[in-house]
Structure 1
């Protein structure tokens, strides 16, 4: 784990209709990351978004 991993441990992940997953961004707190998810969902994006901590689901 490097310094940036420790400073920004929260990821926003997007999954498209084909099941492809992409990292949208990295954030210092879960609240910051959730705010981004909420903002994207409020715009009517049809993709699936969620927040994940680095180290979950295979250690991104």
Structure 2
């Protein structure tokens, strides 16, 4: 499978102070996505980060 056919069902989502949500990245595994979310969250900014699977209802 080439890169264009890769399955990346896990998203890292960021929510800023104003409630705006942004997709940070897509990942192959939940563990990979969670590591990214945790590292971003550890920076101490006021944004929220979480992991979602594509097709799951949002927060």
Shorter-chain TM-score: what band? 0.7 to 0.9
Residue equivalent to 1:41 = 41
Q: TM-score, normalised by structure 1?
A: 0.82
Q: How far apart, CA to CA, are the structure 2 residues paired with 1:45 and 1:33? A: 18
Q: TM-score, normalised by structure 2?
A: 0.83
Q: Larger % of helix: which? A: 1
Q: 27-36 or 37-46, which moves further after superposition?
A: 37-46
| Cα root mean square deviation, aligned | 1.3
Q: SS in structure 2 opposite 1:56?
A: coil
In the TM superposition, what whole-angstrom CA distance separates every residue of 1:6-47 from its partner, at most 9, and x where no partner exists? x10000000011110000000000000000011011111210
Residue equivalent to 2:10 = 10
Q: How far apart, CA to CA, are the structure 1 residues paired with 2:11 and 2:55? A: 10
